[in-house]
Every structure is written in C-alpha cells, then in structure tokens.
Amino acid sequence: MGRRSVHSPEELRQLILDASQTIVERNGITGLSAREIARMIGYSPGTLYNIFENLDDVLLTLQVQLMGRTVEHLKHVPQGSDGEKNIEDLAQAYVDFALVNRRMWNLFLAHSLPPGKTVPAPFFDYTTTLAQIVKDSLAQVAPKLPTEDIDTTARAFLAGLNGICALAATEKGVYITPATAQTYAKELTSTFLKGLRCRSVHATA
C-alpha cells in the first residue's frame, strides 16, 4: 500500500532515481521494476508514472547522470603540457571509473532506446564534452592535424575504450576482464598515440 505524498515532484524524482540506481547496482537491469522501486521509496507503483513516462525514461535518466559523472571524473584528471601523458592518464581514469561503476556502466549496453525515442539532449552534450576533453590533449600531440581529423580520432579512441570497458564490465571477456582491462587500455592508447605521431609527421612534411 502506498502512502500519501509528502515529497515534492522533484524530491520524488530523485527518490526514484536513487532507488533505481541502488537496484541496478545490486541486481542489474533485470531487477528493476516499478513495483520494486515503489517498495523502496514507500509509494505506490503508480507514483513512478506520475513522474516518469515509463521505466525506459528512468533508465535513460540514469544513463544521463552516469555520463555526467564520467565527464566530471575526467575533468578532475590533472592535465599538463605533455599531451601523450594526458591521454594516458585520461584513459586510465576512464577505465577505472567504468570498472568501479560497472553495474551501472552495463546500462549503456543492456538498455536500448525504445522505438521512436531519441538520445536525450543532456546525454549528447555530455558525450560532446567528453570528446572535447580528449581532443584537447590529442591536439597537443599532433597540433598540425586538421580539427576534423582530431575530432574523428578522439571519438574512435573513446569507442575503443568503451569496447574494453564493455567487455570488462560484463565480465564476459575471455582475455579482457576487470583485472586485465587497464593492460589492454594501455596497449590501445600506445597504438593510437604511435599512429597519431606518424600522421602528425606526414601532415607537416
């Protein structure tokens, strides 16, 4: 039985998101339901649908928050004048964050956009900011490369890191596991930087 509302809509929204995150961290996405959320926050299941459109809306909001936390985490990685070291440090921090939050990170893989639904604008903004953080350091390594090339390289690099994080977070990788993810991330980073240096030399020739 639900209780009479004693929270504002914004407070209820946060209660629902906090409870949903707790459920996903404990039991994964399959453990999430309106009934379980309602049980945790002490309201009726119908309360959720007064705040969110449906469970997909809740899951998308959690992913927006997670991407925002990822960006904030990387913003706190010290960046100096050595672009290559900056990229190495960013890659390590990115993988570390994904592994520490791997139950939540699995949302990016386990949840698909419903038909007709588009990526929320804040999620797009966060991914753009994330790419910019990487681009700034890549530009230090190869300042002569066109901006378009740096942009593509940054996004390709992040896609590679995401692949490593995905395999490690799901713990389904034969070789890439939580214990070995950083080793593969370092190899990926080294390969990208070697290629970037080579392209930079040709760009200035």
pLDDT in tens, the chain (205 residues): 445 557 899 999 999 999 999 999 999 888 999 999 999 999 999 999 999 999 999 999 999 999 999 999 999 999 999 999 999 999 999 999 999 999 899 898 888 888 888 889 999 999 999 999 999 999 999 998 999 999 999 999 999 999 999 999 887 778 899 999 999 999 999 999 999 988 888 776 5
CATH 1.10.3720.10 assigned to domain 1-52? The reply is: no
CB 176 within 8 A of CB 164: yes
Q: Which CATH class is domain 63-204?
A: mainly alpha
Domain boundaries, the chain: 1-52, 63-204
Chain-centroid distance, C-alpha 26 = 19
Tokens of 80: 């100096």
Written as six digits, the tokens of 170 are 């799901």
CA distance linking residue 127 with residue 43, whole number of Å = 34
Q: For the stretch 13-39, what's the b/e string if a residue is b when 16 or more beta carbons lie within 10 angstroms of its beta carbon?
A: bebbbebbbebbeeeebeebebebbbe
**Is there a common fold for 1-52 and 63-204?**
no
Q: What is the largest CA-CA distance in the chain?
A: 74
Residue 24 CA to residue 116 CA, distance in Å, equals: 25
End-to-end CA distance of the chain: 74
The Cα 129–Cα 204 span in angstroms is 28
